[in-house]
């Protein structure tokens, strides 16, 4: 049984850099959504929930950056 059939996927180093940038970009967008919600119009989630999403995306973005 090979690794791919067990659910393990190998990602190239150059792809990790792109994934990291996408995750950090998502965190920035989440912060913008939180700011818009703070001003009065929530978009799908409340402002505090957007901040939690931003924190998790930033955490995974930094982790993938360190792995690349």
pLDDT tens, position by position, 25-63: 999 999 999 999 999 898 899 999 999 999 999 999 999
Predicted TM-score of the model (pTM): 0.81
Residue with the larger pLDDT of the pair 13 and 54: 54
- 6 within some domain: no
Token duo for residue 53: 């999403």
- 61 within some domain: yes
Domain extent for 58: 11-67
- 2 within some domain: no
- 1 within some domain: no
7 has a pLDDT exceeding 80:
no
Torsion of CA 26, 10, 13, 29, to 10 degrees: 0
The pLDDT value recorded for residue 48 is 95
Q: Confidence class of residue 12 from pLDDT cuts 50, 70 and 90?
A: confident
Number of domains in the chain: 1
- 55 within some domain: yes
- 31 within some domain: yes
């Amino acid at each position: 049984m090979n690794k791919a059939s067990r659910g393990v996927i190998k990602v190239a180093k150059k792809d990790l850099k792109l994934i990291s940038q996408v995750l950090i970009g998502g965190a920035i967008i989440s912060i913008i959504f939180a700011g818009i919600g703070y001003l009065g119009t929530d978009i799908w989630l409340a402002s505090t929930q957007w901040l939690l999403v931003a924190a998790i995306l930033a955490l995974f973005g930094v982790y993938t950056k360190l792995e690349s």
